[in-house]
Amino acid sequence: MTIQKAQQSRRENVDFDNLVFGKEMSDHMFAMDFRDGVWGDSHILPYGEVGMALSLSALHYGQSVFEGMKAFWGADGKVRVFRPRDHYKRLMRSCERMCIPQFDYDHFISAIRTLMELDRTWIPKERGKSLYIRPVVFAIDYSLGLKPSLSYRFAILTSPMGYYYPEGMKPVKLMTSGEYVRAVRGGVGDVKTAGNYAASMLPFKEAHEQGFSQILWLNAHDNATIEEAGVMNVFFVINSVLITPALSGSILPGITRDSVLALAREKGMIVEERAITIQEVFDAGHIGKLQEAFGTGTAAVIAPIGLIHHDGNEMNINNNKIGPMTEMFYYDMTAIQYGEKEDYLGWCEIV
């Protein structure tokens, strides 16, 4: 790996007390290209613009996949990356679906380790903050031919962050959409490809204009079964049972989702991964059995849901307050991430 260090760090110009998600990038980035059928040498460079011609194929046809992961500055002064192998595996599944060549875990983890070493001062030390790691793999042929590109770039940038939502830990409001759908089985909703997020921007914009944080996506076929909330998987606590939509083929298999399920099962809770309709959630709310709802995601962590709007009706959840189970999962998971609690599920890699 070649390393070209930034001549001057930009770290001192960044206000770590007021971090906005995705706004500030750390000093260095990683890049490795695929050409002539093989992945080539890897490089660390100062973060900055990458030259490109307007015919760059990822721009036109969206052959691009990414991951979102995090590094945490622990209570013991150690830096932990959360579940890197699982993020790598999901990235490889995304590559496979989008016809992008795969690469070894060694390339992935050694790139992250080197970036964490070089940009250590960019990892926030305050609890609740972290260094967001964004690996991306995209097509770099200069061609308008509609076919899999012959060349690709695997790159990583990092960005310090606090809360994803401006609300912080205050419950978010979701709305269903009678008009738009996110994904269908057989499509690409279960992988992390750029187009999924591009397609959600107009619905999100309209939801924001109406005062909602996210769309609660319903199944494209029945417009009734709950899927996910775009940057989060969703969970409901009904009658003390933890319920989350089963991975039906159009939902992103979230790593935080999987972590919450593992923690819940460890605690002996009743957990159901199954189809759940919006009607079931509203019915449970009407008879006082809907205790809590929350979303999970790398950026969002565990975000309480305080209200759902569906088809002209609103359901308030837990008086718009964070519930005890939501709080417990948040603290259990973040305690492992910040090294305050034993990593008994072997999730963290110390870098």
**Which residues contribute to the site for ligand COI (CB under 6 A)?**
68, 197, 231, 297-300
In the complex, the smallest distance separating the C-beta of residue 68 from ligand COI, rounded to whole angstroms, is 2
Dist CA 63 CA 57 (whole Å): 7
Closer Cβ to ligand COI, 193 or 318, answer by number: 193
Alpha helix stretches (DSSP H) within 183-291: 194-199, 201-209, 255-266, 278-286
- Nearest distance from residue 62's CB to ligand COI, in Å? 15
Q: Indicate the residue among 297 and 304 with the shorter CB distance to ligand COI.
A: 297
Beta bridge pairs of residue 215:
175
Strand 64-66 with 348-350, pairing: unpaired
In whole angstroms, give the CA distance from residue 120 to residue 26: 9
Which ranges of the chain does DSSP label H, i.e. alpha helix?
57-61, 84-97, 105-118, 194-199, 201-209, 255-266, 278-286, 324-337
Q: Least distance from C-beta 134 to ligand COI, angstroms?
A: 8
Give me the least distance between CB of 254 and ligand COI, in Å please: 8
Q: Which two tokens stand for residue 171?
A: 């419950």
Residue whose CB is nearest to ligand COI in the complex, by number:
68
What is the Rg, in whole angstroms, of the alpha carbon atoms belonging to the chain?
21
CB of 252 to ligand COI, least distance (A): 9
Scan for tokens 């919006």, then name that residue: 278
Q: Which is nearer to ligand COI, 28 or 87 (CB)?
A: 87
Closest distance to ligand COI from the beta carbon of 108 (Å): 16
By beta-carbon proximity to ligand COI, the closer residue of 254 and 323 is 254
Q: Which C-beta is closer to ligand COI: that of 112 or that of 299?
A: 299
CB of 42 to ligand COI, least distance (A): 23
The C-alpha atoms of residue 172 and residue 160 are separated, in whole angstroms, by 22
Q: Is the dihedral of CA 268, 333, 183, 91 positive or negative?
A: negative
- The Cα 60–Cα 48 span in angstroms is 22
Nearest to 135 by CA among 84, 188, 73, 78: 84
Residue 297: CB minimum distance to ligand COI, A: 4
Do residues 86 and 252 make contact, with C-beta atoms less than 8 angstroms apart? no
Closer residue to ligand COI (CB): 297 or 339: 297
Whichever of 81 and 300 has its CB closer to ligand COI, that residue is 300
- Please identify which residue in the block is written with the tokens 């590109």: 149
Closer CB to ligand COI, 29 or 238, in the complex: 29
